[in-house]
Structure 1
Amino acid sequence: MAARQHARQADIPATCRSCEARRAGLCGALRVRQLAELAKASSRHEVLAATELADDGTYSNVLSGIVKLTRNLSDGRQQIVGFHFAPDFLGRPFGAKRPIRAEALTKVALCSFPKTIIERMLDDSPKLGQNLLNHALNKLDEARDWMAALGRKTASEKVASFLLMIARNIDPAYHPASSISFDLPLTRADIADFLGLTIETVSRELSRLKFDGVIRIVNKRHISLASMVQLEERCGD
């Protein structure tokens, strides 16, 4: 049994063995043969912050970094509508194009592959379709959570919820009692835009969290949490 498992592990492409997307993302549903086929057709690359991710006939796994999703109105106004973190999947199988723009918020590492391969594999692998459905449902749940947050939470709860979302996704394996540090990927103006607040309100609520000992702020963008439990308690959930 152990020998067979070792052999299967050896058959997995080297680039895939330590990839988070294989364990917790889309590729976790693929058989070794499919994984090898996908690896041959895939390419890993990095894009710089503020680079738009064009719909160029490929799907991608996010390996690191943060992708910002925005919706532009006809008069040029823009609304941030969501984020993608590792190991999220970028793409919309079998779907028509939607007016959502994806942009690298930080430097982002991607593993990209042709859409045709994934769409063909969907016919052969029910588990792959289940993974895509679960991913879509998780994103729907996140959107509903933010609808509730933006519609009903106080300014203080909104800012705390935003920080908690970033902290959890920067380190998905976090433990609530452990410390964590990260750089805010958005400016205060972008945070205000996403949360429906003013820049002054965002700054005031960050200062309040700092004064209460929930967070430490260094150079305006670097955030440290001694424990995420304190931050969770400020979210109003």
Structure 2
Amino acid sequence: MADGVHFPAIRTACAHCSIRERAVCACASPAELEELNRIKSYRSFAPGETIAWAGETMPLVGSVVEGVATLALTLADGRRQMVGLLLPADFLGRPGRTRSSYDVVAATEITLCMFRRAEFERLLRDSPRLGQRLLDMTLDELEVAREWMLLLGRKTARERIASLLVIMARRQAGVGDDPTPGGASFPLHITREAMADYLGLTIETVSRQISALRREGQIRLCENRMVEVPNLDSLVVESGGGVDPAV
């Protein structure tokens, strides 16, 4: 696993962390939070920097605090497919599994809250609530993967774009930004090229569909890559449904 930029000092107390209510530590007791606070460290990566290679030993696990990373697999002939995104509060790595299953690459500047694997696994053994929380997050990932099978197999290009925007809007609201009445806003961290790779589309198709959604008033493109959704329910209709708001 790449080192990134290491911050030896604890920068933010766990109790005041921006992802506290959504991350693996959401159900932690005060004593467990204190222990997590003791064993954590921060690492930051620049856009395009590899965090971990598929098959590489990962001595660290942890949560995304800020930014976005992509998960990708590469076939023997060099073909590459993005298979997932890591957004704030998502967990990187698997306790009990020493190697990365995917290439993990920073799509934006990203900050991770990391724990040494052995220390985190010890804490899981001693803290059933943390173990249950991690299991719940893993089951949520399974639901997302099933939804993505539907998206890639049956949805139109427009529905794919709308689905991704709905997911990002709901995730942003879940990590601290309350949606406006009936609407939402969020930073579009990933490029259109990355969106095309993730959604199985061409860049040109992504651009056309985003432009169409903008013309029709479904979204607004603002400064600093912010996207505003005036009516989230309307965008859900454009997505064709199947995007579970609980995930």
TM-score normalised to structure 1 length: 0.85
Aligned residues: 225
Question: Which residue is equivalent to 2:26?
Answer: 28
The answer to whether residue 108 in structure 2 is matched with residue 106 in structure 1 is: yes
TM-superposed CA distance for 1:134, in Å, is 0.5
Question: Which residue is equivalent to 2:72?
Answer: 70
Consecutive unaligned residues in structure 1, runs of 5 or more: 1-12
On the 8 A contact 1:215/1:225 being kept in 2, the answer is yes
Off by >3 Å, runs of 4+ in structure 1: 173-183, 218-222
- Structure holding more helix per residue: 1
Distance in 1, matches of 2:214 and 2:26, equals 40
Cα distance, 1:53–1:95 mapped onto 2, change above 3 Å:
same
Quick one: which amino acid aligns to residue 204 of structure 1? R
Distance in 2, matches of 1:129 and 1:71, equals 27
Question: Which residue is equivalent to 1:184?
Answer: 188
2:131 is matched with which residue: 126, 129, 134? Answer: 129
TM-superposed CA distance for 1:136, in Å, is 0.5
Deviations 1:184-213 (A, max 9, x none): 323222222211122222222112111211
| Aligned Cα root-mean-square deviation (Å) | 2.3
**Identity among equivalent pairs (%):** 37
Q: Which has the larger radius of gyration?
A: 1
Cα distance, 1:116–1:228 mapped onto 2, change above 3 Å:
same
TM-superposed CA distance for 1:177, in Å, is 3.2
Distance in 2, matches of 1:14 and 1:101, equals 28
Deviations 1:163-182 (A, max 9, x none): 11222223325447344434
Question: Which residue is equivalent to 1:118?
Answer: 120
Question: Which residue is equivalent to 2:244?
Answer: none
Consecutive unaligned residues in structure 2, runs of 5 or more: 1-10, 242-247
Quick one: which amino acid aligns to residue 49 of structure 1? P
On the 8 A contact 2:71/2:102 being kept in 1, the answer is yes
Q: Secondary structure at the match of 2:47?
A: coil
Quick one: which amino acid aligns to residue 81 of structure 1? V
Mapping of residues 37-76 of structure 1, within 5 Å: 37-54=35-52, 56-76=58-78
Quick one: which amino acid aligns to residue 121 of structure 2? E
TM-score normalised to structure 2 length: 0.82
Question: Which residue is equivalent to 1:161?
Answer: 163
Question: Which residue is equivalent to 1:170?
Answer: 172
